[in-house]
Amino acid sequence: MATMSTVYLNEKFLPADQACVPVLDRGFIFGDGVYEVIPAYGGRLFRLNKHLQRLQNSLDAVRIPNPMDTEDWQIMLNALVEKNNGGDQSLYLQVTRGSAQRDHALPKNPQPTVFAMSNPLKPLAADIIESGVSAITLDDIRWQRCHIKAISLLPNILLRQEALDQGAAEAILIRDGFATEGAASNLFAVIDGVLCTPPTGPFLLPGITRDLILELAAANNIVHREQRISREDLQQADEIWLTSSTKEILPVTQLDNTRVNNGQPGPLFKSMLALYQDYKQQLRNA
């Protein structure tokens, strides 16, 4: 039998089935909180400081005081990885505004709830690397603060499910004729030989994986650009990828039931995947 995973809740490590939060927690009542998903490779947290900086930005944007300083976050998250036996993991953490009588107005002295857990991080299946996945385009029905990693994810959930219902793996979201990102991933497209991704701003999450891909492109003389991607650009793209901490790089080979280029993962995807795997391996060996 698999051993029960260890989670962290408000200064304590405990078995997952013993962690409870009060029903008046504003995370439960309002979805009032923010989160991060951080991969660990070989027991080492991936770009932890960048994730903690993004967490700080999200907390500032929703006016929740950060309950821990950087060093405490590092100590706690590293301990959580260790208690879950190291290796490759995906850590999830969330900070909510804590418990208070239900009132939309912010409580005067919030006591934030901090929760963190570990999930297995599985490598991308060989058949996906071989054949890619399909995606559909959907209207981006989300709000105008998509740069905040908020736990209130109803639009994202409904969009992802709509994609699954139509036999696709992910929804690519379109706002005013331009693609923003996936329901839980960032978007890249190879257009006229140039690797493109939409610029950051209020309409997409500044992904940590997205940043790394831009850095790897720069370091390896891959021509790349942050630029808006229209629906028509996508339809004519040579390659389309989706990126996230849990999926890494996913090649999209069908868009709205039409093949992307020849319907196979492209050459630039294969090069970038190799660079990404090397980068992970360096972290494991560090």
Helix, strand and coil content of the chain, in percent to the nearest 5, comes to 30, 30, 35
150/147 Cα distance (integer angstroms): 9
Q: Which of 7, 25, 33, 37 binds ligand PDD (CB under 6 A)?
A: 37
Identified binder of ligand PDD from the candidate list 181, 217, 222, 273, rule CB under 6 A: 181
Residue selected from 6, 185, 197, 253 as contacting ligand PDD according to rule CB under 6 A: 185
**Stretches 63-71, 95-103, 132-140, 243-251: which one binds ligand PDD (CB under 6 A)?**
243-251
Of 144, 140, 145, the closest CA to residue 156 belongs to 140
Instruction: Return the amino acid letter for 114.
Output: V
Nearer to ligand PDD, 80 or 100 (CB): 80
Minimum separation from the CB atom of position 117 to ligand PDD (A) = 12
Minimum CB–partner distance for residue 249 and ligand PDD (Å): 10
How far apart, in whole angstroms, are the C-alpha atoms of residue 31 and residue 150? 8
Q: What letter represents residue 192's amino acid?
A: D
Q: Which of 70, 152, 227, 246 binds ligand PDD (CB under 6 A)?
A: 246
- Rounded to the nearest whole angstrom, what is the least distance from the CB of residue 105 to ligand PDD in the complex? 28
**Stretch of 8-16, 126-134, 207-215, 277-285 contacting ligand PDD, by CB under 6 A:** 207-215
Among 80, 91, 184, 195, binds ligand PDD (CB under 6 A): 184
Q: Is 253 near ligand PDD (CB under 6 A)?
A: no
Q: Does 58 bind ligand PDD (CB under 6 A)?
A: no
* Three-state SS sequence of 58-84: HHHHHCCCCCCCHHHHHHHHHHHHHHC
Q: Are 204 and 198 in contact (CB under 8 A)?
A: yes
What does the DSSP 8-state code read for residue 104? S
Judge contact between 115 and 9, C-beta under 8 A: yes
| 209 binds ligand PDD per the rule CB under 6 A | yes
Query: C-beta of 107: minimal distance to ligand PDD in Å?
Result: 26
Annotated active-site residue 149? The verdict is: yes
**Is residue 33 a contact point for ligand PDD (CB under 6 A)?**
no
Question: In b/e form, how buried is each residue of 134-172, taking b as 16+ CB within 10 angstroms?
Answer: bbbbbebebeeebbbbbebbeebeebbeebeeeebbbbb
- State which of residues 55, 136, 168, 205 lies at the interface with ligand PDD (CB under 6 A): 205
Q: Which of 12, 149, 247, 270 is catalytic?
A: 149
Helix (H) or strand (E) holding 222: none
Measured CA to CA, the distance from residue 40 to residue 280 in angstroms comes to 9
User: Which CB, 78 or 200, lies closer to ligand PDD?
Assistant: 200
Query: By CB under 6 A, which span of 94-102, 183-191, 218-226, 274-282 interacts with ligand PDD?
Result: 183-191
Query: Residue 63 contacts by C-beta under 8 Å, 6 or more apart in sequence?
Result: 106
Choice from 96, 113, 197, 244 touching ligand PDD (CB under 6 A): 244
Our finding on whether 197 is near ligand PDD (CB under 6 A) is: no
Helix or strand or coil: residue 107?
coil
Residue ranges in contact with ligand PDD by CB under 6 A: 37, 156, 181, 184-186, 205, 207-210, 243-246
